Structure 1
Amino acid sequence: MSGNTPPLHKLTQKAGETEQLMEYFKQQVELLKEKAMLQASVREEKKLLVENAKLKKDIDDLQKLLQEKQKRRAGRQVSSVQCTTTSAGPESTTPTACAATTTNATGRRKTLHKDEGKRRRAERRGEKKEKELGLVALDQEARLDVSRLDLRVGRIITAKKHPDADSLYVEEVDIGEATLRTVVSGLVKHVPLEQLQNRMVVLLCNLRPTKMRGVLSQAMVMCASSSERVEILDPPSGAVPGDRVTFQSFPGEPDKELSPKKKVWEKVQADLRTDGKCVATYKDAAFEVRGKGLCKSQTMSNSGIK
């Protein structure tokens, strides 16, 4: 045996440590699941408390409405007796006047019913909207993956040097919207300016717009990157501005805007890489424009993407 081969008992010990680590990670996953279920239960309890308060208010309002109706009914009965017993005279109430009073009261009741119906319908719509927003928020909290990124194909229409920063370009990019987006990129040291003109690129479109040396940047050009080199990712042939970049293993709609506080981009970016064939991937799922092909770098394999 070679002198570098570890003894059998050391290999056995390492295998045992690996099993212990795997068991520990499984326990941690179960704890996280239980925590998520507990948080969902607390949110549901709060929602029920709010709904109970609304129901109590509705009951109180109905009781008040019923009391008002009873008072009006009693008043109409008194008026009816007066109409039938009062003799005609300058100050007496005629049957015609009594009929008019009854008609007006009926009209007011109909109006009250109509207003009450409108109010309840508005409350139901509001509750439904709150529920839908709550479900969306819960879904996003549970779904921390690349599907929350709004990745789209774009075409750089014009590119020029930033007026106040030597390392930055300012590009006007068509991503299939009514107006072009302005994008600021730190590519001066890596990509010649002429190579950016009329170039197809992949852009991250739901980062919060940020000013870079006085120019508002509304998206980010996606690139394969290492400590020495940077290459712009190329969309597949036939892709057009506005095409969505999706991932077969990670369905879902992107956030309208990524919150900087929650650091969704930073967490997802850690798993973005090119594979051995230069295909851009997230956890081995390729950047894909459905029906047209995959997004790639030119030469950089097994590199990070940002």
Structure 2
Amino acid sequence: MNGTRHEWGFVEIYEYRPRRLVIPGFLLSKLKTACRKDSSNSIVFARRTQYYEYSVEILCSRDEVNITINGEHVFSLAPSSLPSRIRDDVIYFFDEHNNRLLPVEVRSNEGYMRLYFTAELDAPTLLINGIHMHRIVGVRGPLHDSQLKVSRLGVRRGDRVLDTCTGLGYTTIIASSRGATVYTIEVSEYVLSIASLNPASWLLANENVRIVHADATIAVELLPDEYFDKILHDPPRFNMAGELYSLEFYQQLYRVLKPGGKLYHYTGVPLQARSRRLSPIVRGVIERLRRAGFERVWFDKQTQGVIAVKPR
């Protein structure tokens, strides 16, 4: 791979650039109603958390709509430019070339991807072929889910953390907010493009974050031995990325982790049904991690992930 030299040697570092031109569908629904009235109307939405701030103010009349995001006026458009059909759980972005709002979605050979967001969630999540890439049931939303995972891993100031699957970058952002330096890997340029439009991902533009645009199975082989204090492995489902559940990949994670270092591996509870036993997929993860050399390997019910430690 070609790219910028740093501690790893030559790897491709992705230059993440936030694009602050987005508005949730549930606000657009309110906007269409407000714009039908003769007088000017204002719609305000604000979401402030420890990890991101996103505020939208909309001033609309029958003739013009003005959008201000995080205190900065970013675009204006005519009410007639609003989508004819608005989906409340979709995030829309402003297409500057065509002066219209379009859903944040991608249809490609990797499948159908889009941002999913409702007013009840603490942050948007990513949908790939209809599957949520974060837990949204039993938690306040994907950000809370990510916070639980980082807390269970025990990330602290000064740690060097490997996040094997960037996605929207929530675990990376939370780990870096704790004072860690995070190296995060994402194979899909489409996912990174979607993340650039996601308000809760904007803090990926952070001096403590290095984004590597590569296949994780290849990128991990380039990393030096015993380089990381913690590893957060949150891959897609087994049937979507089985190679990220393989013994060979776990052996590479073991190699790059420092002695005494901790791994958190999200698995969920696939195919568990009503049984109290762990599913075959989770049992297989535990077995292969032990074969790779990890000790104290156990399943954490709260976060639905496996925790493992490299012996000293």
TM-score (norm 2): 0.21
Greater Rg over alpha carbons, structure: 1
Indicate the structure with greater helix content: 1
Indicate the structure with greater strand content: 2
